[in-house]
Chains A and B, each alone.
Chain A
Amino acid sequence: MTVTDTSPLDTGRGASSFAAALHAEWTKFRTVRGWVFGLVLAAMLLVLFAYLTGNGQHSGICVGSGQSGATQPQCGQGHPLVSVGPGGEAVADSYYLVGRQLRGNGTITARITGLTGVTSNAPANAAPSLARTRPGLAGWSKAGVIVTASTRQGSPYAAVMVTPAHGVRFQYDYTHDVPGLQGAPSAAAPRWLKLKRAGDALTAYDSSDGTNWHELGTRTAARLPASVEIGMFVTSPVTFGGLATSATATFDHVTLDGRSLGSGWRGQGIGEGPPDFYDVLGAGGFRGHDSAFVVRGSGDIAPAVTAGGETPASLLTQALVAALLVIVVVAAMFTTSEYRRGLIRTTLAAMPKRGHMLAAKATVIGALGFIAGAAAAAVSITLGRHVEATNGNYLFPLGALTEARVIVGVGAIVALTAVAVLALGAFLRKTAGTVIGGIVVFVLPAILVVPYVSGASGSGGDPSVPLWLLRLSPAAASSILGSLPSSSQVSYPYTVGNGYFPLSPGVGLLVLAVWTVVLLTLAMGALCRRDP
């Protein structure tokens, strides 16, 4: 077919001819009632599935990390407490403190000669108790000296500590972690720790002999009040296998330089037991006086990590699949109907720059898909949070930024999928092939990984298949829903089954974008080369 350059829509200037093409394609989409209905249906399905997910029966774990048995009874009765750290992130903040108030500047020094502990031996459906334990600690059990703004959970702090598996660490404000001396403390190889407060600056030192000190770093971030809590702390987190632990540390040579209030060292448990979400093993305690103490504690001071918990984003896992199914059909029809009705001849006669037609179609369906997806995601998250709160279920809190990322991400997934299927349609020109191809490539991988991602796969099977689908197939983009925090400071199975994706959100979306770009390029090439 020959095309002429004198078309009614082509005024000769690139930009305005594209604008005309855009207007033409927008009119086409807008005036086909079925397509508009399909777009609305996709958005409605997304909201409906998210609502049903939020309203669904949540058997099993509903809060916290580790064993659910202890905390399960409270699931139906309001929300367990997850503290929020200075950066707005969810944090675990439960430990035993032997401390006093420090007015102004000062320094605490201590030597630790031993760190031992026990791990819960209780069956999974019973509360962890000190009566049923076996010897053993978690790799991230912690004992050391701490300066914290207050004993309120989530307060800014800095601490220098010994650990069984990660040597001496200087940690502050939950997310910062600086390594120090290697090895676990023992009577033969004790560890000296020092923490100095000067205004808002907290500086940590470690030493193996108490004379040669090594500076680990200084925390200066958030402002501290004039009076701070200073003292010794012990805490011991849930193991990799989900068992609560309790640690006991032996302190001596404890000295405090500075103006302290009160008569002496006071012990207090912070965040031990309900309503705090974190599983602890027994209550903490201490004995000793003057400069030598034995302190026992359980819990963690670290970013909070959840097991099997719902987040506002995880409500969308299945919902997204349902919406994509409809979007594939709409996007396929948007191009292939041109071919089956012969409209393509008219379209290309009116728009001799063939690339413009595909670009305009992609812009229209991409923009509409983005709006529908993002709007539905925003509604779903709001609605889901409301439903979960009404049912007394717990949603792991995400920061506002993360929620915005999820909403924009869902919009982007819908848009990219729509554009990719549109391009596939322009390439294949056949309706049935485009719909089936679109479903096989863009929906089926997501359907296959859903049971693993939502932790519903039960036996688990061989996880390598879903892992590769989540890396290479368009389903990789669902990692935008992966919003649970992970931290090198928390030993936890960060697996697909626990809601952690193999790719970071941005990279996952990029994988889908590559699929879309490749299909668009193929379609553009075919469109410009061949007869319609």
Chain B
Amino acid sequence: MTAVLHSEWTKLRTLSGNAWLLLGVVAATVGISAAAAGLTHVSGFTHGGDATKLCLSGVYLGQLIVAALAVVAISEEWATGMIRATLAALPRRISVVMAKAAILGGLTAAAGVVAVAGCLAIGRLMLPANGLAPTHGYALISLSSGTTIRAAGGSVLYMALIALLSLGVATLIRDTAVSIGVVVALLYLPPLLAQIVGGALGRHIKELAPMSAGLAIQATTHLRRLPIQPWAGLGVLAAWAGVSLLLAGVTIRMRDV
């Protein structure tokens, strides 16, 4: 297994695009969070909102780049024909997927830690200046708050799980563009669907969809209004990632390259 891990690590490390994508994850996440923090001002509408969730909102965009990184890590093997060499060298095909999952999960989590730390710092520095302060019902971002730690740590886990989900989908589909399209559709379309069907069905969609359930982990206030509780929501996303990896493992074993 260490040999597999080593070979996969070498592949990911030596493609310069991957380093840029990881940097992109951090930049996009922190950038959008900064934009959201900078553009939000206290008004009559926003009294008593969720400052932690607001300053972690960059994950909404950062996850797209995570998805791209994870998809490319496996689908490009098919695009270039590399997959034949990989699977010839490593006949235990499942271990290839597992090694990729481990390394992608680790890399994404590392980038996630940096990104989330940046988001929290921005939130702490920028939000009070815009009036999102305790006097207006916004808690100051602080690492001593248990819910903030849960939201921040959960966001890191969320990004890692998105990477695993994307890896599973790409292994199943084997095409870069279609895989990214499917992952993006899985993430962004169910919330739209929930919006238009509304009611109890809409709520169920939000409970079961990977993004709307998974991002519940970022909520620190008004937890009762959430369609699903934070850890349960992240569990739903983990189930999605697990099932997609399971299917990926089964299909890569069963079918011809």
Query: Could you list which residues of chain A lie within 8 angstroms of chain B, going by C-beta atoms?
Result: 34, 49, 52-53, 55-59, 318, 321-322, 325-326, 328-329, 332-333, 336, 340, 430-436, 439-440, 443-444, 447, 450-451, 454, 456, 459-462, 464-465
Contacts and interface: CB of A to CB of B under 8 A. Distances in A.
B19 interface: no
Pick from A58, A431, A443, A454 the residue with the most CB of B within 10 Å: A431
B181 A321 contact: no
A128 to B, nearest CB: 25
A318 B39 contact: no
A444 B197 CA distance: 21
Contacts of A461: 40, 45-46
B201 to A, nearest CB: 8
A321 B71 CA distance: 22
B72 A328 contact: no
A444 B63 CA distance: 12
A49 B180 contact: no
B97 interface: no
B42 to A, nearest CB: 9
A431 B181 contact: no
Contacts of B176: 431-432, 435
A336 B65 CA distance: 19
Nearest to B200: A57
Q: How would you classify the secondary structure of chain B's contact residues: helix, strand, loop or mixed?
A: helix
Secondary structure dominating the interface of A: helix
Interface stretch (B86-94, B111-119, B183-191): B183-191
Identify the interface centre among B40, B41, B68, B181: most chain A CB within 10 Å of its CB. B181
B140 interface: no
Interface in B25-47: 36, 39-41, 43, 45-46
Contact of A447 (B71, B180, B188): B188
A52 B205 CA distance: 14
A59 B200 CA distance: 12
B177 A435 contact: yes
B193 A456 contact: no
Contacts of A318: 192-193, 195-196
Interface residues of B, number: 34
Contacts of A464: 39
Contacts of B196: 49, 52-53, 56, 318, 454
A454 B198 CA distance: 12
A52 B193 contact: yes
Contacts of A340: 79
A57 B199 contact: yes
B185 A465 contact: no
13 contacts: A52-B197, A55-B197, A59-B199, A318-B192, A318-B193, A325-B184, A329-B177, A329-B180, A333-B178, A432-B72, A432-B76, A439-B184, A443-B188
Nearest to B47: A459
B5 to A, nearest CB: 24
Contacts of A434: 177
B64 interface: yes
Contacts of B46: 459, 461-462
Nearest to B79: A340
A55 B199 CA distance: 12
A462 B193 CA distance: 24
A465 B192 CA distance: 19
A436 B195 contact: no
Contacts of B192: 49, 318, 321-322, 447, 450
A439 B63 CA distance: 12
Interface string B221-257: 0000000000000000000000000000000000000
B107 interface: no
A432 B61 contact: no
A431 B193 CA distance: 27
B177 A431 contact: yes
Interface string B76-100: 1001000000000000000000000
A462 B41 contact: yes
A430 B72 CA distance: 11
Contacts of A436: 64-65, 67-68, 180
In this complex, the member of A55, A318, A432 whose beta carbon has the largest number of chain B beta carbons within 10 angstroms is A432
Most chain A CB neighbours (cut-off 10 Å) among B61, B67, B79, B177: B177
A55 B193 CA distance: 12
Contact of B40 (A332, A336, A444, A462): A462
A317 to B, nearest CB: 9
B53 to A, nearest CB: 12
A450 B180 contact: no
A323 to B, nearest CB: 11
B181 A59 contact: no
Contacts of A34: 178
B166 to A, nearest CB: 11
Contacts of B178: 34, 329, 333
Nearest to A448: B60
A502 to B, nearest CB: 16
Given A440-B64, A459-B46, A326 B197 contact: no
B224 to A, nearest CB: 15
A498 to B, nearest CB: 15
A450 B195 contact: yes
Nearest to A55: B197
Contacts of A460: 45
B181 A328 contact: yes
